[in-house]
Amino acid sequence: MRITLFGERQRQGSHGFSWPWPYNSRCSPHGEQKRDATTARGNASGARVTDTPLPRQVTIVEVGPRDGLQNEAAFVPTLEKIAFVNGLANAGHTVIEVSAFVSPQWVPQMADAAQVFAGITRRPGVRYTALVPNLHGLSRAREARVDEVAVFPAASETFSKRNINQTIDEAIANAKRVCDEARSAGLRVRAYLSTSFGCPFEGAVAPARVAEMTARLIDLGAYEVALSDTIGVAHPRQVSDVLCKVTRLVPASNLALHFHDTRGTALVNVYAGLEAGVATFDASAGGLGGCPYAPGATGNLATEDLVYLLDGLGITTGTRLEAIAQASRAIEPHVGHALPSRVFRALQTTWGRE
């Protein structure tokens, strides 16, 4: 049986995957549209994006305890999750997505969200956040004293239905209810926009739709939208292309990028994001991760790999690479397989020599 990622109607290249739209796009870094983008909202500096210096400081949103552990076959014991979160905070992270207040029938690995929040040691200056799909989730999150919540609609209908059992319109309506109630309770709301770079069921997703949905989520009250490559199909030119469209409506300072590293392009996609002025990136310690409702999604961009890149570029993150790797080292035996982060694996070769 021949399996195709996006179904038979998609064209396929020799590498087994090809996008149905051409990349001589008018919005690409090599295309004419670049000049237009520099005068648009969000690119208002007047400088060409390629001439813009990289951000000097980047915020890393550590999603390992949530996006990482939600997709592991093994249920990681609650005490180990707590130690993992504490280890990541000690490593200098300022934003940690601790868990998800979703249905335990849908994602059993996150069933102990309240217990994890109850057990962590809260360091001053660290925001401990969680996913909430609806008002029920928000109410559980508030009881657990989360600092911030995240809603997670998708840019494609089929994934939206499979992931949260809601159409896009229903998900947006739900996100509005969560934003309204969370904000009136003094909680900030982040939004993910899943399948921003491709859907496992529908294939290509139009950048214009991503831009329009991102703007809607900001209008609903989300302070930031994490454009999410749910199944790790994005490549750098596409990242530039999507950001070019999105930053006409929403400034880069309200955007984050959330890459899964399924095809090994996550780091180079980060570089494309930095070039476009994005300064917030999600990553998962050790490269844990995936989405249980996205066939083929593997781990997130590994935090160690991201920090190694940013350290090398002289970009401040406030995190300590060795301490992140120690947190990964402690969780690895509980997930039952070797963690994929390359930098983590390279560091392992130095342990035992110290």
Residues binding Mg ion (CB under 5 A):
67
* CA–CA distance, 341 with 347 (Å, rounded to integer): 10
Which of these, 269, 262, 234, lies nearest to 340 by C-alpha position?
262
* CA–CA distance, 295 with 350 (Å, rounded to integer): 35
Which residue in 86, 214, 230, 341 binds ligand HMG (CB under 6 A)? 230
* Pairing assessment for the beta strands 127-131 and 280-283 based on DSSP bridges: unpaired
Which of these, 131, 132, 191, 194, lies nearest to 158 by C-alpha position?
194
Q: Are 82 and 120 in contact (CB under 8 A)?
A: yes
For residue 157, give both structure tokens: 């209908």
Residue 68 binds to ligand HMG (criterion: CB under 6 A): no
Work out the angle at residue 180's Cα, subtended by the Cα atoms of residues 60 and 117, and round it to the nearest 5 degrees.
Answer: 50
Q: Are 327 and 87 in contact (CB under 8 A)?
A: yes
Residue 95 binds to ligand HMG (criterion: CB under 6 A): no
> Which range, of 2-10, 18-26, 159-167, 210-218, touches ligand HMG by CB under 6 A?
159-167
Cβ 24 to Mg ion, closest distance in Å? 30
> Which range, of 5-13, 85-93, 97-105, 249-257, touches ligand HMG by CB under 6 A?
97-105
Judged by beta carbon distances under 5 to 8 A according to partner kind, the member of ligand HMG, Mg ion, none in contact with residue 192 is ligand HMG
| Strand spans (E) along 242-331 | 255-259, 280-283
Which residue in 91, 100, 210, 243 binds ligand HMG (CB under 6 A)? 100
Cβ 185 to Mg ion, closest distance in Å? 26
Residue 228 binds to ligand HMG (criterion: CB under 6 A): yes
Instruction: Determine the residue type at 193.
Output: L
Cβ 160 to ligand HMG, closest distance in Å? 10
Q: Are 91 and 323 in contact (CB under 8 A)?
A: yes
**Based on CB atoms, which residue is closest to ligand HMG, 6 or 293?**
293
Residue 107 binds to ligand HMG (criterion: CB under 6 A): yes
Which residue in 192, 281, 308, 344 binds ligand HMG (CB under 6 A)? 192
Residue 106 binds to ligand HMG (criterion: CB under 6 A): yes
Residue 291 annotated as catalytic: yes
Residues serving a catalytic function are 291
